[in-house]
A and B are shown apart, each in its own frame.
Chain A
Amino acid sequence: MNSAQIEIQLIASLVAIACAIPGTFLVLRKMAMISDAISHSILPGIVVGFFITQDLNSPLLILLAAFTGIITVVLVEYIQKTGLVKEDTAIGLVFPALFSIGVILIAKNANDVHLDVDAVLLGELAFAPFDRLFIEGTDVGPKSLWIIGSILLITITLLLAFFKELKLSTFDKGLAASLGFSPVIIHYGLMSVASVTTVGAFDAVGAILVVALMIAPAATAYLLTTDLKKMLSLAIGFGVLSAISGYWFAHWLDASIAGSITTMLGFIFLIVFLFAPSKGIIAVMYREKQQRTEVSLLTFLLHLKNHTEERERHVNHLQEHINWQKVRAKTVLDLAQKNNMITMNKNIVSLTNKGDTFTSKAIDYIITNEDAQIEDMKEDFFLFRG
C-alpha cells in the first residue's frame, strides 16, 4: 500500500462517516428522498459557484452549493404547502428542474468550465490525492481530505451538542415543540448539514453515490437495531467497511471506486435484508408462516371447543369441514399434540384441560386485547408476540 492508496481509503472512510450521521436521521425522519433531491439540485449551485471562484475546492463554492440544497428543501416544502401536489411529487418536480438548469449552464459554458456533469455525478476518488493543499509551501495532504475532515468535525460537534434535541424531534415532534425545542430549526439544521456534506463529498464520490452512503448504511443498521446510538455506530461501521472493501474491490476490478463502494453497500444491505435476526426477510417469512399455522391451530381448537358431537370431531371430518389441505391439517394436529392441547382416541379429537384453558385465554385476549391474559404464552407462540 502506498501513501496515495492510504489517503484514498482515508478520504472514503471519512466521507462514509460524514454521510452516515445525517443519513441515519434522514432515514428515521422518513426524508431519505430529500437527500436524493439535494444531491441533484446542488449542481447549479456548484456551477455558479465555480464561475465565481474558479476553484472546485473553495469553501465559498461549497457554501453556495449547499445553499442551493437548502433552497431545494424550501421549494419542496413550499409546493407541498400549497396543497396542489403531494410531497413526493413536489420532490420529483423540483430537483430535475434544478438539475436541468445545472446541466444547461455547464453545456452553455463548456469552454470556460473545466467541469463536466459526469464528474459531478460520479466523482473520481482516484484523483483525490493529487490535488494537494499547500500551507506556506509545505504539503499538508490532499485538499479533499481537509474539506471532508472539517465537515465531519462540524457534523460530529453538532451531533454531540444537539443529540438530545435531534433524538426528541425525530421521534416525537409534538413533545419537542411543547418542550421548547423548535423542530423547524432542527429540521433546517439537519438539512444544512446534509447539504454541506453532500457538496463536500460530491467531488470524491459523486453526488448520486453520496445518497447511497447516506441511506444504505442507515437502512442496514435500522434492520438490526432500534436503538438510536447503536444504529448510528452500526451505520458508521457499515459505511467504513464498505468504503475500504469497496476500494480494494475497485482496485482488483480496475473500475470506478465510487461505484464499487456502492456495490459493497448494496451487498451488505442484501445480506442483512435476507438474514437479519428478527427483521430480515427470512425471519419475517418464517414468522408469518408460523403465525399462519398458529391461527389455524386456534381456529381448530375453537372448533373442538364448540362441538361436543363425535361426528364433528373426527379427523377426516375436520379436513373437509375447515377446508384444509392434508399437509396443513397434519401440521396443525402435530403442533396441537406436541403442546398437549388435544388427545386422539380412535381418530376422534378432544381437547385436554390445557387446551381448553388455552383456548379460553386466547379468546379473552382477542376480545379484550389485554396483554395480561397471554403473558405466559408469548414464549411459545409467535402469534402473541405483538
Chain B
Amino acid sequence: MDITEYFKLVFSDYTLRTITLGTAILGAVTGMLGSFAVLRKQSLLGDAISHAALPGIAIAFLITGAKDTNTLLIGALVSGLIGTFWIRGIITKTHLKSDTALGLILSLFFGFGMLLLTFIQKQPNANQAGLDKYLFGQAATLVESDVWLMAIVTGVCLLVLLLFWKEFKILLFDADYTKTLGFNTKFIDVLITSFIVLAIVLGLQTVGVVLMSAMLLAPAAAARQWTNSLSTMVFLAAVFGAFSGVFGTAISASQNNLSTGPVIVLVAAVFVVFSFIFSPSRGLLFKQIRFIKNRRDLELHKTLSFMYHIAETHENTSHPHAIKLLNNFQGFTKKTLQKLVEKNYATIDGSKWSLTDLGFKTAKNLYNKQETKNE
C-alpha cells in the first residue's frame, strides 16, 4: 500500500480511520499540554511519568485479572500520579536535585513494573498476553471506544485550559507574583500536572512507555520556535502534534514492519528540526544570515572610518586616493567599496577613490550618533 492508497482508505477503512483519528487527537492533546511542560522546564517529567505508569498497569491487571483498557489506564494514572508526587517530595524535602529525582523514579518504577510483568507472564492465566504492548505501544490495537475516550479527555482538557487560562499563564511565567495575588498556586499546579499525567497515560497504548515523552515535547518545542505568545504556541503545538500523528500513521501504514509509535516520534522530530532551522525569528538559518549581514555592515563601517581617517589629513576631503591604500585593511572588499559607492558615500574613479561630502559627514558621526542604525 502506498501513501495515495492510504489516503483513499482513510475514509473508507474502519481500522485506518480509527487509528488516524486516534493518533491525531493524541498528538493534539499532548502537544497542547506539552507546551506547558516545556515552558515550566518539566520536559523530562513526561518521560518519568510514562515510565512510572508501568507498574500501575501491571497491578491493575493483577487485581482485576482482565485486560480492559480503561481499568489498566486508571492503574497507570494512579501510579503515574504517585510517581509525580514522589518526585516532588524528593525535590522539596531532600537535597537531591530534580534530574536525580526524575531518573530515580523513572528507573525504579519501570524496573518494578518489569518485575511485575515478568511475574504475570509466569502466571497460569491465558489472558496476560499483550500487556507488553504498553512498552512500545501499538496503534493498531486502538478501537473506536479508545478514540472516544481520547476525544472526551481532550474536550475536558480544552475546557479546563480555557477556564483556567489566565491562572495557568500567570503561574507559568511568574509563580511568586501569582502567589502574592492570592491565587491558590498549589491547586493550579496540581491541576496542570494531573492533566499532563492524564495525557501521557492516554498515549501509552499508542506510542508506549518509552517514546511517550517525545510526543509531549517535540510538538511544543517546535511550536516554541515560531512564536512568543502562549496561546499561539499551544495552538501550533496541537497542530504539529496532530499532523505528526496523521503523517506517522500514514507512513507506518504504507510500509511493512514499521511500528507506528517510533514513526510518529520521528515525524515529530522532523518538525522540530525544520522549526529549529527555518523559524524566521529564532531559527538557526536566519540567525546565521543576520549574523553575516551584521558582520558585513560592521566591515563597511570599518572601511568607511578608515577612509575617513585618510581623508581627514587633507584639506580637501574629497581628494582622491589610490584603492591600493585600502588593501591592507581587513574590512575592505570590492563589495564593500561598491556598496559605499551605491550609498553615495564615496566615488570611484579608475583606481582612485574619494569620499563624498555625505560620506565624510557620516563617517565623522559614525561613533557619535546612531545615524546609521537603519541600514
Contacts and interface: CB of A to CB of B under 8 A. Distances in A.
A273 B94 contact: yes
Contacts of A59: none
Nearest to B112: A263
Interface string A205-217: 0101101101110
Contact of B107 (A36, A250, A284): A36
B104 A219 contact: yes
Given A30-B100, A219-B96, A93 B269 contact: yes
A91 B46 CA distance: 12
A310 B263 CA distance: 78
Contacts of A214: 103
Contacts of B258: 104, 107-108
A36 B102 CA distance: 10
Interface residues on B, range: 35 or more
Contact of A92 (B44, B114, B115, B261): B44
Interface in B210-235: 210-211, 213-214, 216-218, 221, 224-225
Interface in A269-313: 269, 273, 279-281, 284-285
A333 interface: no
Interface of A: 27, 30-33, 35-36, 40, 79, 82, 84-86, 88-89, 91-93, 96-97, 99-101, 103-104, 107-108, 110, 117-118, 121-122, 206, 208-209, 211-212, 214-216, 218-219, 222-223, 250, 253-256, 258-263, 265-266, 269, 273, 279-281, 284-285
Contact of B111 (A36, A212, A279): A212
Contact of A259 (B43, B93, B101, B114): B114
Describe B's contact surface by its main secondary structure.
Answer: helix
Interface in B50-109: 51, 89-90, 93-97, 99-104, 106-109
Contact of B93 (A215, A216, A284): A284
A259 B111 contact: yes
Contacts of A103: 136, 259, 261-262
B99 A82 contact: no
A223 B104 CA distance: 13
A265 B94 contact: no
A262 B115 contact: yes
B119 interface: yes
Contacts of A121: 135, 210
Contacts of A273: 90, 94
A82 B42 CA distance: 19
A89 to B, nearest CB: 4
Interface in B36-50: 38, 41-44, 46-47
A343 to B, nearest CB: 38
Interface in B315-362: none
A68 B104 CA distance: 23
Contacts of B122: 254-255
Interface of B: 38, 41-44, 46-47, 51, 89-90, 93-97, 99-104, 106-119, 122, 132, 135-136, 210-211, 213-214, 216-218, 221, 224-225, 257-259, 261-263, 265-266, 269, 272, 276, 282, 284
Contacts of A31: 99
Nearest to A83: B282
Contact of A117 (B115, B136, B272): B136
Contacts of B261: 100, 103
A104 B135 contact: no
A263 B115 contact: yes
14 contacts: A30-B100, A36-B103, A36-B106, A82-B276, A82-B284, A84-B276, A84-B282, A100-B265, A253-B119, A259-B118, A266-B111, A269-B104, A281-B93, A284-B93
Contacts of A261: 111
A97 B273 CA distance: 11
Given A85-B221, A211-B106, A216-B108, A107 B118 contact: no
A281 B88 CA distance: 12
Contacts of A266: 108-109, 111-112
Contacts of B42: 88
A279 B43 CA distance: 27
A119 to B, nearest CB: 12
A23 to B, nearest CB: 9
A91 to B, nearest CB: 6
Nearest to B89: A281
Contacts of B99: 30-33, 88
A120 to B, nearest CB: 11
In order of increasing CB-CB distance, the 4 nearest A-B pairs are: A262-B111, A259-B115, A96-B214, A212-B107
B41 A86 contact: yes
Contacts of A40: 210
